Amino acid sequence: MTDPMGPWRLHLAPFLRFSAVCLLGTIVLFPMYWMLVVALTPTGFSRALTGFVPEQLSFGNFVAIFTERPMLRWIVNSVVVATLASALSLLFGTSCGYALSRLRFRGAGLLMMVVLVTQMMPATSIIVPLYILFRDLGLLDTVQGMVVGHISLVVPLAIWMSKGFFDRIPPDLDGAARIDGCTRLGAWWYVALPLALPGMAAIFIYGFVTSWHDYLFAHALVHSQELWTAANGIASFRGEYFTLHELQMAAALVFALPVIVMFIVMQRWIVSGALTGSVR
Amino acid sequence: MSEALPATGSRRARAIRSRPLAWLTDGGGFPLLMIMPALLVLGMVIGLPMLLAGQMSFDTINFRRPAAAGTYGPHNYVRLWSDAKAWSAVALSGLYMAGTVVGSIAVALSAALLTRRIVRFRSLARLVFLLPWTVPAVVTALVWGVMYEGNFGVINRILEHVPLVGGANWLVERQTALPALMVAQIWNEFPMAYVFILAGLHSIPEDLYEAARIDRANSLQQFLFITLPQLRYILAVTVVLLMIMGFKSFPIIFILTGGGPAGATETLTVLTFNTAFRRLDFSYAATLGILAVAISIVLVVGYMRLVARLQEGRDGP
């Protein structure tokens, strides 16, 4: 070895890499950590914080958002809307995903293109005509309207992701079922669909989270406070308690935590599902 | 699976001819049966609104001038053509896309390269870089809004201790508002790029690096001549997906600045929303929405071409 730095480099490289990971990780985690710190600081005191740790712990902010504002009501609304929107989207989207995965038919390419465009165009383009349509149909400011609006977000996702899951099931299996006398519908219903069930569960969760996180539809289609979803409710806190950061952060934490915890528990599963949905 | 009807005379073919329902469940009508539910729903929740948007864009639906409704003509498109505000919104969307794409790729690529060969705490390190993905855009907006706050926000308090760098009222000042929003968006969306790039890194055959080490290539050379070329397709796909996400972005911008200060962050999506729900000019908003759809179609076509090339590259030599 003629490299005089050789032995040093050997020890330095892992150390540098370790420090870099820690630094980048700290920066990435900081906003979430800060949300927790501010949420746990007594109302009005976060501006007096001098360090990065809470000086007094208090759960008063969490009590306040549930007693002073209808937070619980909003969460229930969100759960109802997200469950319905995701389940219905799955019901309507799955068979189309199978068709796009297995069957050759005229217009398949066009249909795939349309599904992709609807998933990827800005929702603000849909919301303007949808508002006028809902006004004429009397769906503005109703839970049904919200569900229909969210279906327009989740159905393309359900089609695209279920196509991905059916792609992974060997087509020979439905072929074998047909030789055994199944109709084409039977091959799908009795063979392919049960095999894709774990995938369906993943799609349901993904659709649920998409609806749970949506802000645009919730904000535009519903005016009455008691029908708001949680996303719209907590966003209103920024206007309502503009300088009371503690209440804003407590509400944000309550809203974000279920999904964060679920993600940590099912990390591997979700990441592979997401890759299926968007790359293939 | 074969699509042709079974040979004439077979039991199945006879069944199909005798019962029209069998044409749907077992014959040539099967694809139609399978796509019908989705087609109906997509038609109702997306097709119908889009057709209505097309009609609205030639109408005059303005809640401030209800009497004008029913005045048809291409006036909204004429107005769009010479509307500096609309084109500045398109430019802002482009700037926002460019900034968030470059930032997300930079952060994601660094994180992926750093955690790629990590041995201890491997899944913990990955979890850290994935977590912001799970944070809703609404929450991202609230958290960054609190951190950016001008008087006692934590970012300004940190910057007080950094020499030569001053604080700012990030979301209120014209020059800082858009970059500040981009940072929040990057924080929220880079994990997606991280997942893709990490997957791409793991698909690079290890013997390429072994060969390079035998040839005494240093790590920079290995990165430039092996990693980057091997990653180029996955990077391209990630870039297009990030562009689409940046273009669609609404809640972070809308909640934090609403398009202000003085239109400095009014991207096409925010302008569309504000035109309808603040200025109550639904017809012009529909026109802006159609412009946005047209831009998305261009992006999606680019995405599909890239994915096709990616799969070709995978299967080919």
Q: What is the 3-state secondary structure (H, E, C) of chain A?
A: CCCCCHHHHHHHHHHHHHHHHHHHHHHHHHHHHHHHHHHHCCCCCHHHCCCCCCCCCCCHHHHHHHHCCCHHHHHHHHHHHHHHHHHHHHHHHHHHHHHHHHCCCCCHHHHHHHHHHHHHCCHHHHHHHHHHHHHHHCCCCCHHHHHHHHHHHHHHHHHHHHHHHHHCCCHHHHHHHHHCCCCHHHHHHHHHHHHCHHHHHHHHHHHHHHHHHCCHHHHHHCCCHHHCCHHHHHHHHHHHCCCCHHHHHHHHHHHHHHHHHHHHHCHHHHHHHHHHHHCC
Nearest to B154 by CA among B164, B163, B143: B143
Residue scoring higher pLDDT (B83 or A8): B83
Contacts with B212 (C-beta within 8 Å, 6 or more apart), sequence order: B221, B222, B225, B226
Q: How confident is the model at residue B314 (pLDDT cuts 50, 70, 90)?
A: low
First to last CA, chain B: 27
Determine whether the interchain pair B273/A96 forms a contact, defined as Cβ–Cβ distance below 8 Å. no
User: CB distance B48–A133 less than 8 Å?
Assistant: yes
Question: Which range has the worst mean pLDDT, A112-121, A145-154, B89-98, B108-117?
Answer: A112-121
pLDDT of residue A1: 43
CA angle B105, B111, B116 (to 5 degrees): 120
Q: Mean pLDDT for chain A?
A: 85
How far is the alpha carbon of A240 from chain B, nearest alpha carbon, in Å?
12
Phi, psi of B281 (to 5 degrees): -100, 85
Q: Which residues of B touch A28 (CB under 8 A)?
A: 107, 111, 128-129, 131-132, 187
d(CA B15, CA B9): 10
State mean pLDDT over B216-244.
Answer: 88
Tens digit of each residue's pLDDT (9 = 90 or more) over B14-53:
666 667 778 877 777 888 888 888 889 999 888 999 999 9
Residue B295 has pLDDT above 70, yes or no: yes
Q: Is the peptide bond before A171 cis (omega within 30 degrees of 0)?
A: no
- What is the pLDDT of chain B when averaged over all its residues? 86
- Taking contacts as CB-CB distances below 8 angstroms, the residues of chain A near B313 are none
> Could you give the CA distance from residue A210 to residue A217 in angstroms, rounded to a whole number?
12
Give A110: exposed, middle or buried? Use CB within 10 Å, 0-12, 13-18, 19+.
exposed
What is the C-alpha separation between B126 and B117, in angstroms, rounded? 11
Residue A73's pLDDT is 93
Residue B266 has pLDDT above 60, yes or no: yes
Dihedral of the alpha carbons of A175, A178, A182, A185, in degrees to the nearest 10: 60
What pLDDT score was predicted for residue A173?
A: 83
Q: Identify which of B34, B38, B147 has the shortest CB distance to residue A103.
A: B34
Find the residue in B nearest to A97 (Cα).
Answer: B35
Q: What is the pLDDT of residue A58?
A: 84
Distance CA A94, CA A199 (A): 10
What pLDDT shows up at residue B104?
96
Q: Residue A50 is encoded by which pair of tokens?
A: 């001098």
Res B6 pLDDT > 80: no
B62 bridge partner residues: B281
Amino acid sitting at position A178 = R
B309 CA to chain A: closest CA distance, Å? Answer: 12
Instruction: Judge: A35–B296 Cβ closer than 8 Å, yes or no.
Output: no
Query: Under an 8 A CB cutoff, do B276 and A127 touch?
Result: yes
The size of the A-B interface in CB pairs under 8 A is 280
* Residues of B whose CB is below 8 A from A126: 46, 49-50, 53, 289
- Asked whether the beta carbons of residue B248 and residue A174 sit closer than 8 angstroms, the reply is no
Q: What residues of chain B lie within 8 A of the CB of A21, using their CB?
A: 114-115, 118, 125
Cβ <8 Å between B273 and A275: no
Task: Look up residue A145 and give its two tokens.
Answer: 């309207």
CA distance A129 to chain B (A): 5
- All residues of chain B having their beta carbon less than 8 Å from the beta carbon of residue A95 are 33-35, 37-38
Interface probe with A: pick from B124, B139, B241, B307, most Cβ of A within 10 Å: B139
- Structure confidence by residue, pLDDT tens digits, B164-203: 777 788 888 888 999 999 999 999 999 999 999 998 898 8
Which chain A residues are closer than 8 Å to B22 by Cβ? 183
Share above pLDDT 70 across residues of chain B, in percent, rounded to a whole number: 93
Q: Distance between CA atoms of A70 and A65, rounded to whole angstroms?
A: 8
Interface test with A, best of B30, B36, B134, B140 (most A CBs within 10 A): B134
The arithmetic mean of pLDDT across residues B52-62, rounded, is 88
Residue B50 exposure: Cα atoms within 13 Å on the Cβ side: 18
CA distance A61 to chain B (A): 15
* pLDDT for the residue A14: 77
CB of B194 closer than 8 Å to CB of B112: yes
Q: What is the distance in angstroms between the Cα of A112 and the nearest Cα belonging to chain B?
A: 10
Return the pLDDT at A6: 54
pLDDT at B309: 79
Rounded CA-CA distance A257/A234 in Å is 13
**What is the distance in angstroms between the Cα of B152 and the nearest Cα belonging to chain A?**
6
Q: Which residue out of A37, A113, A125 would a mutagenesis test of the B interface target, given it has the greatest number of B Cβ atoms within 10 Å? A: A125
Give how far B200 is from chain A: nearest CA, Å.
Answer: 12
Residues of B in contact with A98 (CB under 8 A): 34
Which chain A residues are within 8 Å of B194, Cβ to Cβ? none
What is the spatial distance between Cα B220 and Cα B223, in angstroms, rounded to a whole number? 5
CB atoms B137 and A213 under 8 Å: yes
Residue-level pLDDT at A271: 59
**What is the pTM assigned to this prediction?**
0.87
Lowest-confidence region among A250-254, B54-58, B158-162? B158-162
Name residues of chain A where pLDDT drops below 70: 1-11, 268-280
Q: Which two tokens stand for residue A263?
A: 């993600």
In the prediction, which pLDDT does B108 show? 95
Inter-chain touch B272–A128, beta carbons under 8 Å: yes
